[in-house]
Amino acid sequence: MEKVDCIIVGGGLAGLSAAYGLASEGLEVIVIERGDYSGAKNVTGGRLYVSPIRDLYPELWKAAPFERPVTREFVTLMGDGAHTTIELASERFATPAYQSYTVLRARFDQWFADQVMEKGGMVITKNRVDDLLLEGGKVIGIRAGGDDIGADVTIIAEGVLGLLSSKAGLREEPRPQDHALGYKEIIELPPGVIQDRWHLNEGEGAAHLFMGGVTRGLMGGGFLYTNKDSISLGIVVGMEAMRQAPDKVDSYTLLDEFKELPQIKPLVEGGTIVEYSAHAIAEGGIAKVPKLYGDGYLLAGDTAGLSLNALVTVRGMDFAIASGYYAARAVIDAKERDDFTAASLAQYEQSLRSSFVLKDLETARYIPHTIENPRLFTHYPQAVSNLMEQVFTIGPGPSKKLSSTVMGGVRKDFLNLQTLKELYAMRKI
C-alpha cells in the first residue's frame, strides 16, 4: 500500500489549512476532496473573522481573495407589521487591519487549494473517501474508489455531518438537536447598488442579520452579506425546531418566504440568482465537541463540532482554519518524535485548549441552550418593534409623556416574571 506522512479527508478550510501547514514544512500530504474543486460543496454565510487567525499564517491573508471588509453591522428585529433595525458603523471596523471579511467559498477555497499545491501538497478532487482503514483501533489510512492509501496520521476534516468518522466510531452520529439547516442564494447586484443599499463607502462591506418573523417563530434567522458584485442571502433554521413545529413546513420554502417580505424585497430587487446551496450547521457548542484525537488520527473543523452561533456573530471558518493549523503543528511534532499514537497526538487538543478555539467555545457554553428559547424569535423582536413604534407615533388626540409611553411598553412586554427569568438565564452567556 502506498504510504504518505498525512492524508486529509476533505478539502474545505480545515483540511486545506492543515495541508498548507504540513506542506510548508515539507511533509508529504494528500488532501482528498469529493467536490469537483475545493469550494464546490462548501457553504458559509459568510463572513470570516480574520482577527483570531491573522497570526497563524500571516503571509496568507495579505493575498487572500476576500470580498469586502465588514465595516457596517445591521441587525433587524422583525415583528408583525413593524421591524426595528440597529445599524452599527464603526470607524474601528473600517480601519485596517480589518477584523472580518465577507468571502465566497467557491473562490476562496480554490485559492487556498492553490496555495497548498504551491507548497508541494497534493489536492485530489472528484474523489470521495469511502472508508477509514483501521488496524487494532488505529487509523492507518483511507480507502477511496477501491484504492487504499496509508498514512502516519489521517486528519479527518470531512465537514459537519462527520459520516466517515461516526461510521468508524470516532465520534457520535449527528443528531438533529445539535444542528441547524441553512439555505442560501448568491444574488448578483452592481457594486454601486450594493453601496447605496447598505450605506457603504467604496470597497466596504456589510453584514445584516434578521431575527424574528423570518422562520415562522422557529429558532433561526436570516443573514445577508455584501460581496464585491453580489450579496449572500440566506436563512438558518434549527433542525429540531423544524421537527417539533406543529405547523409542518418544508424548510427550503422559508428562504422564498423571506425574500418576499416587504423588508427584504427592496434589498434584492433587480438581482440575479447565480448560486443556490443548502447545508447543515453544527450548533451543539462545546458540549458536543468529540474527542479530537486518537491513534493515527485527528478531527478538525466542523467534524470536530468547532462552530458557534451566538446570534449576532456566527463563526466556524476561523475555527476550521485554526484547527487545521494546530493539527498540522501536532503532526509535524509527532513526526519528529516518530510517534503517532494518541498520547503523542494529544498535543493537538492541548493547543486548541490554550488557543481561542476551545476557549471561545467554553466561554459560549450556555449559548446553544439559551438560544433554543422560541421567545427570542417571537416575543422580543415583536416587543422591541412595538415599543419603537409607540415612541414614534403621534396620534389624533393629545400625546402622553415620552417617559410614560416608554414605561408603558416596558411594563407590558419586559417587566414580567417570564422576561426576568429569561434575563437571569442570560447572565451565563
Q: Do 233 and 184 contact (CB within 8 A), yes or no?
A: yes
The Cα 216–Cα 245 span in angstroms is 9
Nearest distance, CB of residue 314 and ligand FAD, angstroms: 4
The Cα 138–Cα 15 span in angstroms is 20
Instruction: Please identify, using beta-carbon distances, which residue of 15 and 381 lies nearer to ligand FAD.
Output: 15
Instruction: Please identify, using beta-carbon distances, which residue of 204 and 384 lies nearer to ligand FAD.
Output: 204
Number of other CB atoms surrounding residue 91 within 10 Å: 7
Q: Which residues of 355-367 are buried (b: 16+ CB within 10 A; e: fewer)?
A: bbbbebbeebebb
Nearest distance, CB of residue 180 and ligand FAD, angstroms: 8
The Cα 178–Cα 305 span in angstroms is 9
Please tell me the number of Cα atoms within 13 Å of 306 on its side-chain side. 31
Instruction: Please identify, using beta-carbon distances, which residue of 106 and 387 lies nearer to ligand FAD.
Output: 106
Instruction: Please identify, using beta-carbon distances, which residue of 13 and 194 lies nearer to ligand FAD.
Output: 13
Q: Do 94 and 228 contact (CB within 8 A), yes or no?
A: no
Q: Do 158 and 301 contact (CB within 8 A), yes or no?
A: no
Instruction: Please identify, using beta-carbon distances, which residue of 277 and 419 lies nearer to ligand FAD.
Output: 277
The Cα 314–Cα 379 span in angstroms is 22
Instruction: Please identify, using beta-carbon distances, which residue of 315 and 379 lies nearer to ligand FAD.
Output: 315
Tell which residue, 321, 308, 391, 311, has the closest CA to residue 352: 321
Instruction: Please identify, using beta-carbon distances, which residue of 296 and 409 lies nearer to ligand FAD.
Output: 296
Nearest distance, CB of residue 22 and ligand FAD, angstroms: 15
Nearest distance, CB of residue 26 and ligand FAD, angstroms: 23
Nearest distance, CB of residue 388 and ligand FAD, angstroms: 27
The Cα 187–Cα 268 span in angstroms is 8
Nearest distance, CB of residue 272 and ligand FAD, angstroms: 20
Tell which residue, 12, 9, 8, has the closest CA to residue 279: 12
Instruction: Please identify, using beta-carbon distances, which residue of 184 and 259 lies nearer to ligand FAD.
Output: 184
The Cα 155–Cα 300 span in angstroms is 7
Give the cell for residue 374: 422560541
Instruction: Please identify, using beta-carbon distances, which residue of 43 and 334 lies nearer to ligand FAD.
Output: 43
Nearest distance, CB of residue 73 and ligand FAD, angstroms: 12
Q: Do 108 and 44 contact (CB within 8 A), yes or no?
A: no
Nearest distance, CB of residue 192 and ligand FAD, angstroms: 24
Q: Do 69 and 100 contact (CB within 8 A), yes or no?
A: yes
Nearest distance, CB of residue 216 and ligand FAD, angstroms: 18
Instruction: Please identify, using beta-carbon distances, which residue of 45 and 285 lies nearer to ligand FAD.
Output: 45
Q: Do 86 and 75 contact (CB within 8 A), yes or no?
A: yes
The amino acid that residue 280 corresponds to is A
Residues contacting 302, CB < 8 A, separation 6+: 12, 14, 159, 160, 162, 282, 316, 320
- Residues in touch with ligand FAD (CB under 6 A): 9-15, 32-35, 41-48, 128-129, 157-160, 164, 182, 184, 234, 236, 279, 281, 301-302, 307, 314-318, 320
Number of other CB atoms surrounding residue 423 within 10 Å: 10
Nearest distance, CB of residue 125 and ligand FAD, angstroms: 9
